[in-house]
Structure 1
Amino acid sequence: MSKPIEIPPLTARKNYKWELLVLLWLAFFLNQADRQIFSVVLPLIRKDLGLSDAELGLIASALVWTYGLLVPIAGFIGDRFSRRNILGVSLVFWSLATLSTGFCTTLIQFVLLRGMATGGGEAFYAPSANSLLSEHHPKNRSLALSIHQTAVYFGIILSGLIAGYVGEHYGWQRAFFLFGSFGVLLGFVFFLRVKKDVPAVLNSSVQTFIPDTTPTVGQVARIIVRKPTVWMLTLAFACMVFVNVGYLTWMPSFLAEKFGQSLSEAGFSSLFYHHAGAFLGVLMGGKIADRYAAKKPQSRLIVQALGLLLGAPFIYLMSVSLSPTVTYAALFFFGIFRGWYDSNIVASLYEVVAPNIRSSAYGLMLACAFLVGATSPYILGVLKPTLGLSAGLSYLSFMYVLGATLIGLAVVRFFEKDKNR
């Protein structure tokens, strides 16, 4: 009998940090794709089940509310337990919830499975994933996190194309079945590849994990309360999330109604041009920030503020344009500058937060931002019958301007003090 092949510890493998990035990229891809499916097939669900625009907006908001409520818990857990277990379990859980959404027939079922179960599972991904990546890429943190962030764009673009096609030809239910099944499969692969290595990572030269010295929830909260830069970054993030969630929920329907596009065409066009621009923008923003941050750490925040400020006019233009071509161009440049902001969401926060509470701090930041941003789909759904989607989407540009102002205030007034504290 031949000897079983022993797989060496993952941390001992060459280029482990890049293999980790690939695994997390795939998981984040599904995290975003599963979240976007509902918006793409929303017209089919409305037609099939007779749900109102306000009810459909409520379903989308329920996911973000659940995410916002649970993500701080996920952050604190991520500073205290195996992040491999947290990431793997959350991936399998939200994928099963996505798969089960295909069986929904009532509003309450959508709220429970699509909103609470999917949102709850996804909440436990980002804090642990970003903390783990940051530890393994200390010298090129913004670049690594930017590459990880590109999974958002690919996930949303491909979910728009694939879910729209599957929904039109085979029914909206099968779109959820497809993505959910793939996620469960990836979850098993994820556990297989990292099973024996995350505990070693937590106790290796990357970072020594000492439970007795990990701050309590109250201590973390007190540390963060004394850092106005964290408040400003969190409020700006809330502005960005408000815009992003509203745009992602209603843009496919906007193009289908305004320009008479098919579901698959509207789903693809509403997501591709914006996220193609964001893909380029996030890599640009990461490289620019890494280049200047060594000598001037506030450069990360400056790149974010410029991204929001320069992106605001294109949000307005995409909403009021009467030409599909102009709308697509506006979506592209809106994406470019959104990418500048996205490239430094985590890296900017980590400039003023100590390594041993980063997961917790990011969890609290996500919670505040998503609890505010969750209202966007519902508000736009309520306003849609009276003001229309064009006016509602155009108002989102003001949130970008507000976010840029908040980050600028942090740079001028609080950053240096909070970084040294």
Structure 2
Amino acid sequence: MTGGGWRRTLPLMPASIPSASRENKKKIPYAWELVGWLWLAYFMNQADRQLYSVVQKQVQEALGLTDIQTGLVNTVLIAAMAVMMPIAGFLGDRLSRRRIILWSLLAWSVATMLTGFTGGLVSLIVIRSLATAVGEAFFVPAATALIGQYHVKTRGQALAFYQTAQYFGAVSCGAAGGWIAGQYGWKHSFWLFGGVGVVLVALMWRRLKDAPKTAAAIACSEPIGDVLRALFRTPTALVLTLALGCSTFVNMGCLAWAPTYLQLEPFNLTPARAGFFSMFYYQLFSFAGVLLGGRVSDKIVGRRPAFRVELSGVSLLLCVPTLYLMGATSTLWVVYAMLGAFGFFRGLYDSNIYASLFDVTAPRYHSSATGLMVGFSFAVGSLAPLALGAIKQSYALHTGISLLGVVYIIGSLALFIAARGFFPSDFLRNQQTVPTSPKL
């Protein structure tokens, strides 16, 4: 695996990205300032997306929805994102990533505010599911590709830190959203979170910058068919996409119903406590896992290029027993412990999602590849809230949570096969196509 024939070689930073001498004069290099702004935007992305799950019991009672209708709202949102994400990815390789990021943040924030005015299932699906999904779908491919464009040697750490925003966003949403819903009603939660997103757009408008156009970063002008053929000829990218689909199915199913699970017998937590504790332990340990995974992978991948893929496979496999015990126990502290363990291993996996993909795809395809991968994962994940709603209605919610581990086993095995069978040749081919910049 570590033979000299495919030892990792990292490309030089593009010449037009600010030089080290100029960056050293600043307290914070712009490459990291960029990560900070995108972290805040991703924080709001995840907070707004998780908000419905935190207050869905109150929404269900207020609008008179069945369990299946309640799950359908999240399912339509995720399915709409699955359709839009590949389109967003292709546009992210052709248009200004800065503009895509800012307009998408504005769009989903306004849609979140409008969710507070809905009065029935149809309006809830149109505004919460469709409008919010279209806004959110354009953010991830453009933001992820832009970070990868500014970071090369620190790519794993930069993308791992960026990933932590989803944990903080979900925890803050669980605490604040649940408290606001309990004190003032669920509508006020959507109005507040949407308004904060609009303010963030104004703050980011002057600070966010596109990376300068270089041979490595110039917008891709190849026909979509050529882009698809290039990606489908990279087996490792396909396996990474399958694994992310498995991970997203489990995560969306678990997170969509975890607050409701803790409000049922034998736990009987209040909406505010259920919203907070269903996220707190999970996201806290996810934060630790993702930072550890990003730092360790950046250090080891130079000696063992397949390490990111191998670590991802191990991480998914270790999640399986935590999910089983989470659904099998009637003891609250065991649920919290399993949420923490699940979060840690999921964080290790998350830290390498996009860095692994960028290891085997050319820079000009990064946004397109991200859009296709995340779009597929949302298409698979969109079935999870509805599936768990149906299991809850026919059997019991704890049974559905325990069964989620089977999906992780599939993703883990696929990653182990890819690490040994496909990654070496895909990695070598990509390294031969990565352009090098002129000496600075």
* TM-score of the two chains, using structure 1 as the length reference: 0.94
Say if 1:215 and 1:357, in contact at 8 Å, map to a contact too.
no
Q: Tell me the residue number matched to 1:6.
A: none
Q: Deviations over 1:359-378 (max 9, x none)?
A: 10111111111101100000
Q: Deviations over 1:115-151 (max 9, x none)?
A: 0111111000111111111121111111110100000
* Paired residues for 1:362-377 under 5 Å: 362-377=370-385
* Deviation for aligned residue 1:225: 1.3
Q: 1:216 is matched with which residue?
A: 223
CA shift, 1:204, in A, is 5.7
Hey, what does 1:395 align to over in structure 2? 403
User: How far is the alpha carbon of 1:228 from its aligned partner?
Assistant: 1.3
Q: Which runs of 4+ in 1 moved over 4 A?
A: 10-13
Query: How far apart are 1:214 and its partner, in Å?
Result: 3.1
* 1:38-117 pair list within 5 angstroms: 38-117=52-131
Paired position in structure 2 for 1:286: 294
What is the match of residue 314 of structure 1? 322
Q: Which residue of 2 aligns with 1:235?
A: 242
Q: Return 5+ residue gaps in structure 1 as ranges.
A: 1-9
Structure 2: gaps (5+ residues): 1-16, 430-440
Asked whether the equivalents of residues 214 and 356 of structure 1 are also in contact (C-alpha less than 8 Å), the reply is no
| Secondary structure in 1 matching 2:152 | coil
Report Cα offsets for 1:289-329 as digits up to 9, x if no partner. Answer: 11111121110001111110111110111111111101100
Relative to 1, partners in 2 of residues 1:208 and 1:235: Cα closer, same or farther, differing over 3 Å? closer
Shift of 1:243: 0.3
1:328 aligns with 2:336: yes
- Matched-pair identity in %: 41
For residue 379 of structure 1, what is the aligned residue in structure 2?
A: 387
2:287 aligned partner, one-letter code? F
Alignment of 1:226 with 2:236, yes or no, is no
The 1-side partners of 2:224 and 2:241 are apart by 18
Quote the Cα distance in structure 1 between the aligned partners of 2:397 and 2:65: 18
Q: Which residue of 1 aligns with 2:255?
A: 248
The 2-side partners of 1:141 and 1:283 are apart by: 12
Distance change >3 Å, CA 27–CA 381, structure 1 → 2: same
Alpha-carbon shift at residue 82 of structure 1 (Å): 0.6
Amino acid at match of 1:60: N
| Counterpart Cα distance in 2 of 1:378 and 1:208 | 40
Contact 2:44/2:197 (CA < 8 Å) preserved in 1? yes
Letter of the aligned partner of 1:305 in structure 2?
Answer: G
Q: Which moved more, 1:226-235 or 1:12-21?
A: 12-21
Contact 2:388 2:397 (C-alpha < 8 Å) held by counterparts: yes
Q: Alignment partner of 1:370: what SS? A: helix
CA distance in 2, matches of 1:221, 1:202: 25
1:168 touches 1:264 (CA, 8 Å); kept in 2?
yes
Question: Is residue 2:213 matched to residue 1:203?
Answer: yes
C-alpha deviation, 1:208, in angstroms: 4.5
Residue from 266, 287, 304 that aligns with 2:312 = 304
CA–CA separation in structure 2 for the residues paired with 1:256 and 1:273: 17
Q: Of residues 161, 165, 184 in structure 1, which corresponds to 2:198? A: 184
The reply to whether residue 193 of structure 1 matches residue 229 of structure 2 is no
Equivalent residues of 1:64, 1:119 under 8 A apart: yes
Tell whether 2:426 aligns with 1:409. no
- C-alpha distance in structure 2 between counterparts of 1:203 and 1:413, whole Å: 35
Matches within 5 A, 1:333-348: 333-348=341-356
Normalising by structure 2, report the TM-score: 0.90
* In structure 2, C-alpha distance between the alignment counterparts of 1:24 and 1:239, rounded to whole Å: 26
